[in-house]
Amino acid sequence: MKIFLISDNTHTLTGMRLAGVEGVVVHEREEVLRELTKIRESRDTGILLITELLAEKVQQELDEMKLSSSPPVIIEIPDRHGSRRPQDFLTRYIRESIGLKI
């Protein structure tokens, strides 16, 4: 199994390539959906990294992939400009998921 990156900028992809991660740079929703289809069909990707900006464009499709029991594991990462999520994202996520206030 391999790790694959779908990014919206070349800087993120270049950094990941230095770590041995292959990937593509796309900008439009249709391009992201095409790459997701390729990944689902190939079945050799174990971890999919996708930048938060692109993940917002295809959130419904990513949620469906996350709920399926088949690989890949999907991880949304910030790009070189930082995270688009609010600072309390993780604590809010935990509170909504299991009802525990941290």
Regions of the chain where pLDDT drops below 70:
80-96, 100-102
CATH of domain 2-98: 3.40.50.10580
pLDDT digits (tens, 9 = 90+) for 53-66: 899 999 999 988 88
Q: What is the pLDDT of residue 3?
A: 94
Please give the single-letter amino acid code of residue 35: E
The neighbour count for residue 62, using CB atoms within 10 Å, is 19
Measured distance between the N- and C-terminal CA atoms of the chain, rounded to whole angstroms: 35
Cα–Cα distances (Å) from 88 to 7, 95, 99, in that order, read: 24, 11, 15
| Domain residue ranges of the chain, discontinuous segments joined by + | 2-98
Q: What is the pLDDT of residue 20?
A: 93
- Using the structure block, give the residue that is written with the tokens 């992201």: 32
pTM for this model (two decimals): 0.78
Q: What is the pLDDT of residue 93?
A: 63
Q: What is the pLDDT of residue 47?
A: 92
